Amino acid sequence: MMLLGVLLFAVNDTLGKFLLGTYAVGQLMLVRSVAGLCAMAPFIHR
């Protein structure tokens, strides 16, 4: 799980830097926050 977490942080950072050339910072933060909420929603619901 630790290795997966570190990998996901690295992928998140890489995609963020890559997408900043195309999208504004606000748009990127909104999409990242919505994706995180969708991933955590089942755990929050419990």
pTM: 0.65
**Which token pair is 16?**
């963020």
Cα(42)–Cα(46) distance, integer angstroms: 7
pLDDT (tens digit, 9 = 90+) per residue, 29-41? Answer: 999 899 989 999 9
Q: What integer pLDDT is reported at residue 46 of this predicted model?
A: 81
Cα(5)–Cα(21) distance, integer angstroms: 25
Alpha helices in the chain (DSSP H): 2-19, 25-45
Q: What integer pLDDT is reported at residue 41 of this predicted model?
A: 94
Cα(1)–Cα(31) distance, integer angstroms: 24
Q: Total structural domains in the chain? A: 1
- How would residue 45 be classed by pLDDT, with cut points 50, 70 and 90? confident
Whether 7 shows a pLDDT value over 90: the answer reads yes
Domain with 38 in it: 16-45
Residue 9 lies in a domain: no
pLDDT (tens digit, 9 = 90+) per residue, 9-29? Answer: 999 899 989 999 899 999 999
